[in-house]
Structure 1
Amino acid sequence: MRTRKAALAGVLCAGLSLALTACGGTAEDPDAGTNGVGKLEAAKIQDKARGAARDASSVHLSGSVVSQGRTYKLDMRLKRDGGTGRVASDASTFELLRVGDELYLKAPAAFWSRGDKGDGAAAAGKLEKKYVKVPTADPAYQQLKGFTDKDVLLDGLIALHGKLARGEHGTVGGDRTIRVNGAGGSGGTLDVSLTGTPYPLRVQRAGGAGQLELSEWGKDFALTAPAKPDVVDYGKRIPSGEGASLPGPSK
């Protein structure tokens, strides 16, 4: 009888070894079947994610960024040579399109009028359905371009602060991930894909300065300049009163 009980216990342990560590088995390896970055040191995981982001031809970025007390909601598709999408804040909402060095801004009449009445409001109404070309010499150009510059934007967003530590395994959008924490999480967190290329999939910025999700890595999309009849070109500088104080991420 004792022999039969021992044999039965052995069969149960063998059958449940993946779930019952008390039977002498080992816990399932969370990195089994992954790209292996989950076993690296935290700094190396961040480096892998940054390198993958730089090498990618495109990305879809969505979420919020807090800069100098203002929250921007971003929904941008970015490529090496430009980008397109929407930027919204409590003060304004506008669309951006950049093809190479050509940068265009599209916004509702309220954005252009800034409380103007009469002729100013009428002029703003005419711009509502137009793409206004932002001159490279205009002070707003570099600020607005930053929203559409894949490498510049991602390098700044992926940066964590403080001592880095490897965090928990998890999932983002159904993809298995490994988390990297900066300063115990107060310096930001970065979730990196454990499937295929180690792309960054989610960023929580230090100090509660926003959260962004990164998806559709390497997925191509159309990026073409608007038709000439849809463009307003002021030349070297947007006239005062019509965009001289265009918002940007550093304002």
Structure 2
Amino acid sequence: MTAIPPGRIRRRIAQIAAVCALAVTGTGLTGCGSEDPDAGTNGVGKLPPAKIQSETRAAAGSVDAVRLSGTVVAGGRTYQLDMRLKEDGGSGSLTAQGAAFELLRIGDELFLKADAGFWNHEDGKGEHEKGDDDSAAAGKLGGKYVKVPQGDPSYKRFSGFTDKDVLLESLLTLHGALATDGHHEQSGVRTIRITGDKGSGGTLDVSLEGKPYPLRLVRAGGAGTLSFSDWGKDFALKQPPKGETVDYGQQLPTS
């Protein structure tokens, strides 16, 4: 059986984590066909923009679960994510610099799952440059849940993508002078849109139905567009089977 060098796993995780670290640090329909666009709504559309922003942050923090999907642009690259998050963890998929993988966090345990191609693509080498041992090791990791130890520098970068509070705190802030930008609609839900610096500091669509949850964010500087859904909808986080898990943490050097 081909041994899996722990250093190889660590290098590959560190490479993609460094890329993802950059990422962390919609068209609406105007009008609603009545003289009072706030008739029958939750009333936040009548509030000053700063109050709308604080209300939506409070609403987002009041529930235990959410789904976050869309794109983040950083360093000239576009990253795609589709994550389901709740208080004790999260799961979902990310694509960073052409590398697709899944993340799963349950409490303090963090796992990364990817195919063999993910593990084979290291240090800019192509398939023809790799030896049989490298390919065999990558094949053994493909489709497995690789546990990322808490002592690994990549742990904090990846776990941020599975932390509801961390992500929402970093995302739900518009930059510059706040203003409202009319009534819109997202996925059939009426919204009020607020902007930072007339849109250059980002725009946020806030639900006018039910609680004022954020529904769509266009990040400042063209840094991506994200949608929020399934607010308060719980989901299961299941430990991966032992036979599908690779834990290399005990083999890592302490430095």
Q: Same fold (TM over 0.5)?
A: yes
- Picking from 209, 217, 222, the partner of 1:203 is 217
Match in the other structure for 1:13? none
Residues 179-206 of structure 1 deviation map (CA, whole Å, 9 limit, x = unaligned): 0000000000000000010000000000
Match in the other structure for 2:52? 45
Residues 105-151 of structure 1 deviation map (CA, whole Å, 9 limit, x = unaligned): 00111211223432111101111011000000001000000111111
Pick closer, same or farther for the CA change 1:149–1:237 going to 2, 3 Å.
farther
Pairwise CA RMSD = 1.4
Match in the other structure for 1:225? 239
Measure the CA separation in 2 of the matches of 1:154 and 1:189. Answer: 15
- Picking from 241, 245, 249, the partner of 1:235 is 249
- Picking from 128, 140, 146, the partner of 1:126 is 140
- Picking from 106, 110, 116, the partner of 1:109 is 116
Q: Does 1:94 align with 2:108?
A: no
User: Counterpart amino acid of 1:126?
Assistant: K
Normalized against structure 1, the TM-score is what?
Answer: 0.82
What runs of 5+ residues in structure 1 fail to find an aligned partner?
A: 1-18, 20-26, 240-251
Residues 46-79 of structure 1 deviation map (CA, whole Å, 9 limit, x = unaligned): 1111111111110111100112332110011000
Q: Does 1:171 align with 2:168?
A: no
Q: CA deviation at 1:161?
A: 0.5
Match in the other structure for 1:215? 229
Structure 1 contact 64–211 (Cα < 8 Å) conserved? yes
Q: Taking CA–CA contacts closer than 8 Å with sequence separation of 6 or more, which of the two structures ends up with the larger relative contact order?
A: 2
Residues 197-249 of structure 1 deviation map (CA, whole Å, 9 limit, x = unaligned): 0000000000000000100100111111111111100024658xxxxxxxxxx
Structure 1 contact 35–196 (Cα < 8 Å) conserved? yes
Instruction: Compare CA radii of gyration and give the structure with the larger one.
Output: 1
What's the secondary structure of 1:59's corresponding residue? strand
Measure the CA separation in 1 of the matches of 2:164 and 2:74. Answer: 18
Match in the other structure for 1:29? 36
Match in the other structure for 2:205? 191
Structure 1 contact 136–236 (Cα < 8 Å) conserved? no
- Picking from 150, 166, 171, the partner of 1:157 is 171
Normalized against structure 2, the TM-score is what?
Answer: 0.81
- Picking from 139, 142, 146, the partner of 2:156 is 142
Pick closer, same or farther for the CA change 1:238–1:168 going to 2, 3 Å.
farther
Measure the CA separation in 1 of the matches of 2:161 and 2:64. Answer: 17
User: Counterpart amino acid of 1:232?
Assistant: V
Match in the other structure for 2:65? 58
What's the secondary structure of 1:212's corresponding residue? strand
User: Counterpart amino acid of 2:169?
Assistant: D
What's the secondary structure of 2:249's corresponding residue? coil
Measure the CA separation in 2 of the matches of 1:137 and 1:89. Answer: 23
Structure 1 contact 161–188 (Cα < 8 Å) conserved? yes
User: Counterpart amino acid of 2:76?
Assistant: G
What's the secondary structure of 1:122's corresponding residue? helix
Larger CA deviation: 68-77 vs 95-104: 68-77
Structure 1 contact 82–98 (Cα < 8 Å) conserved? yes
User: Counterpart amino acid of 2:82?
Assistant: D
User: Counterpart amino acid of 2:87?
Assistant: R
User: Counterpart amino acid of 1:47?
Assistant: S
User: Counterpart amino acid of 1:179?
Assistant: R
Q: CA deviation at 1:90?
A: 3.2
User: Counterpart amino acid of 2:97?
Assistant: D
What's the secondary structure of 2:45's corresponding residue? helix
Measure the CA separation in 1 of the matches of 2:150 and 2:43. Answer: 44
Pick closer, same or farther for the CA change 1:184–1:112 going to 2, 3 Å.
same
Q: CA deviation at 1:163?
A: 0.3
